[in-house]
Chain A
Amino acid sequence: MKPSQQEIISRHSLLWLLIINVVILLPLYDKLTPWTMAICGICLVWRYGIFMGKVAKPPRFLVTSLALASALTLALVTSKIGLLNGLINLLILGYSLKYIEMIDRRDVRIVVIVGYILIAITLLGQQSIYFSILLIFIATINTCVLVSLYREDVKLNETARIGVSLIIQSLPLAALLFLVFPRLPPLWMMPQLKTAQTGLSDEVSFGEIGRLTRSTALAFRVKFDGTPPMNHQLYWRALVLEDYDGQTWTRHESIKTLESNNLASSSMPSATGPWLNYSVIAEKSNQHWLFALDVAFSDTLDIIQLPDYRLYSTKSLTQTFQYNVKSFTSVPMDLSLTDNVRNINLRLPEQSNPRTHQLAESFATRYPNPVKRLNAMMSYFTEQAYFYTLSPPPVGPQQIDDFLLENKAGFCVHYASALTFMARASGIPARMVTGYQGGEWNKRAQYLSIYQYMAHAWVEVWLEGRGWIRLDPTSMIAPERILEGFDAYFQGRNSYFIDSPFSALRLRDYPLLNELRLTLASIDFYWSVWVLGFDSSKQEQVLHQLLGTITKQKLAFFMLTSLSLIILVIAYSAGLLHFTRDKDKVSSAYLRVCRLLHKKGVSRRLDQGPLDFCLKVETQLPVIAEDFSQLTQYYIALKYRTLTASGRKSTTKLFIRLSRKLKLKIIKL
């Protein structure tokens, strides 16, 4: 069949296409290159022009040259923006160009198909519950475009009604499939989105963490099996920094090699002692490091454990990632130290911070015992007039000297740097650890939220017979910061609200609104755990709760029953299953009255017309004569007269009301 008259896109469909183009491309704004954006804009304006009848269809050569130009620009920038981003931009450009040159229904169908793929791509980057609801909405609009191909003569809202009901009727089966369909491991490697990294950076210099303390973004959430530890025990290790060049702390090369080659073990060692089980839902950071307490292991796929007891994901966290952790809180780290590691953790750059060096050496001579020496160093921060601030005065090239002996003001990185430096200078192996400290407890959903502003740096020193020990010099200056959390020490308005004026965390000051914030956060948490993090183990857990022990027969039975139920419901709501047609309300009401009268001894002969019967009733039961004659009149009007639609409606209403009243009267007789 050749494309005939009916294959041409109607104006109604064109309007829907205008809408869908805007709503599909808007959420993708952050992935578009400026060139793509410009071409999309041209296409949209052109299409609008066509819709308004102002311009004709673009000439063939224009579309071709636009396509060539965009492909060329993309080829040039792909190395800069990454392969996946390049492909996405290509797809978007194809979408926009097809959009201006489409002629018949086939083109519209292609545009709709590509639209769904673009929605899926949007979901790669954005996964919050609110965003997902928005995308279901967009998918509905995309479906409406298809509906509009077959319903051309109706209003926008009629098409929308059909589209929405199609989607709503499809949701239950989709949920069922989501629940029972087996989850597979990735089939092959996919190119990853290249986007800005967030959270902790892999190196720390003075001022580094200070920037993070201005961010209210969520870093990760933790759900404990059982009661969570106290705030001051919540040191979430993310990075161990062993190299110091006088300016910045970085990871040692050997660790970096292990990380990039995924060489470290991922097995669960036979550690003993008390442990904590918890699962962490990390927000996307586009980095590899994970967060865990103390000596931590994980059995989640794609996670390895590094020799410094950190957890490391072999894939960068391009989307929300959930993993299980088992942490041993009292197992020592590295009871023995190889010479190599010892040297790395004692090394200091030459001629760096000579005055601090001197101070450390004086500690060493005064306290030969390493433990006592460390205690003295820690106390040094309280004895002297140090104070904690997120906006410390500037430092020169000998930064630790300047901080420790001149400014005496700084935050965690300053104190941790100084302590690590002094420990190393006095002969104790020490390293800097960065991560997060504390967490906000959500009572409703029983989980901890860790925000970026809780980023923290502390020190680990190695002691003979005890392994690596955590020391937090900040706790000496600002103990509330550690014991009760960041918020106990700093008012939000002084730190993390400076850069995020619209953060929901601002609602903390208002109890009612804060409740609301926590409720919404709980919903988002459940979404992350049960939808984003729904994996085969969760699947098993849910099915087990639903069916008891899972057998194939049970599962098949469950599938079949739910499927047929769903199909029945859809068929019913589509208007298929109305076997019995609506009975004639008027006749049945009249007949009911007649039946009651029959019981009272006034029966109607089969051949007796309503008027005739009315006369009989009037003579035999004068009590209801007036009402019955009125009823008969309504009945005759409804049955035998042509009435307007509204007249019929109102008369039917009066008739039904009167028949009810009359029935009561007859019963009382």
Chain B
Amino acid sequence: MMNRANPITSTKPSRASLWWNTWLARRLPPSKQVTLAHKSIFILPTGFGLLWAGLILLLFILGTNYQNNLIIGLSFLLASLFNTCIIYSYKNLAGLSLSSSSSPQAYAGETLVFPVKVSSKQAQFEVLLSYPDNQVNVIKVIKQESQVSLLQFNNLTRGRIFPRRLKIESRYPLGLCRAWSHIDLDNQVIVFANPIESQSELSALETDDISHTLNRGVHVQGVDEFKGLRQHIPGESLKQVAWKQLAQGRGMLSKEFQQPQGQPLWLTLDNLSSADIEERISQLTWSIDKLSERGHIFGLVIGQHKISPSDGESHRLLCQQSIALLPFRGQR
């Protein structure tokens, strides 16, 4: 279920780009942490660099036609400057370390954010980071202390999203050469489906009473069941303070208890009314968020797969991820 193609511009890749991608994959395999070196840095002249070459030629011809050694010398100096710039361009990327960290959750249609940590032993200037067809991040100076650049990635579909290779680019110092690299930071994010509001689509599998679904599965603040820990609010009863955790140095926390009320709620795809399965998935996504927000206990049934009723953030994430990863129609 690898969805590596960019959903926005998923045109059929040409033969050349296919070859290029496999070559890149072999040369620069995916890795969480990459340090750029001669193997991963490519250098080519920019458009300005080509114009510069034209200038060198022009000056050389001018100098030759006027038999003026100084103008010829100037053209050689500019040519040599180009050569120096190649070395500087290389230096401006060599030793640059990039590493990925986990991305914040997102829904389909939202711009994804991939945090990338960059650092370099030697100062490097004006490095451009971007995913293809996405906004470019400019880092003015990269030093030994690592900094995080939040890279944007436009995405429309749900599911496990792998951004394509990250492009790292620099034109420092004169803009004559473009040193660049395409690296795969092996980062991914599970994008939840786009939530669509639906009031009546919740279903209860194991009860007969459908009309009260919304009132069931609700927790009441209580004393029976341990729900979890939360930040202690000054003035609260000291009985609820989690002393054990305090002793562990985790700070002042309060234990929360609750009482389950009524039967748990079951969410399922099959009972939703919409004809389009993607729309039903979206509606389910909305329902999960809504129920979690209200603190309901609910379970999820997708085909043979069943997630037993629970609540809380991790439960919500589990449910959302399982729906998000449902195969697309005809992709089984």
Residue ranges of A at the interface with B (Cβ–Cβ < 8 Å): 1, 4-6, 105, 109, 113, 116-117, 119-120, 123-124, 127, 132, 135-136, 139, 143, 146-147, 149-153, 162, 166-167, 169-175, 177-178, 181, 183-190, 318-319, 531-534, 567, 570-571, 574-576
Contacts and interface: CB of A to CB of B under 8 A. Distances in A.
A449 to B, nearest CB: 21
B80 A186 contact: no
B73 interface: yes
Given A120-B71, A139-B74, A173 B83 contact: yes
Contacts of A113: 51-52, 55
A153 B67 contact: no
Contact of B67 (A105, A123, A186, A188): A186
A120 B74 contact: yes
B107 interface: no
Given A150-B174, A151-B125, A166-B81, 10 more contacts: A109-B175, A113-B55, A120-B71, A135-B74, A167-B77, A177-B80, A181-B76, A531-B70, A574-B88, A574-B91
B44 interface: no
A162 B74 contact: no
B87 A574 contact: yes
8 contacts: A116-B78, A139-B77, A143-B81, A151-B125, A151-B172, A318-B66, A567-B87, A574-B87
Interface stretch (B57-65, B214-222, B241-249, B315-323): B57-65
Interface of B: 48, 51-52, 55, 58-59, 61-81, 83-85, 87-88, 90-91, 94, 122, 125-126, 136, 138, 140-141, 171-175
Contact of B80 (A1, A6, A153, A171): A171
A173 B68 contact: no
A187 B65 contact: yes
B55 A116 contact: yes
Contacts of A187: 61, 64-65
A123 B71 contact: yes
A166 B70 contact: no
A665 B265 CA distance: 85
Contact of B87 (A149, A177, A318, A571): A571
Contact of A174 (B58, B79, B136): B79
Contacts of B79: 173-174, 177
Contact of B173 (A124, A150, A175, A186): A150
A576 B87 contact: yes
Contacts of B68: 123-124, 127, 319
A170 B80 contact: yes
Nearest to A169: B84
Given A174-B73, A178-B76, A117 B59 contact: yes
Contacts of B171: 150
B90 A116 contact: no
A319 B68 CA distance: 8
Contacts of B87: 567, 570-571, 574, 576
B175 A150 contact: yes
A425 B59 CA distance: 57
Contacts of B59: 116-117, 120
Nearest to A532: B69
A22 to B, nearest CB: 20
Contact of A171 (B66, B75, B77, B122): B77
4 closest cross-chain pairs (CB), A and B: A173-B80, A170-B80, A177-B76, A174-B80
Nearest to B46: A109
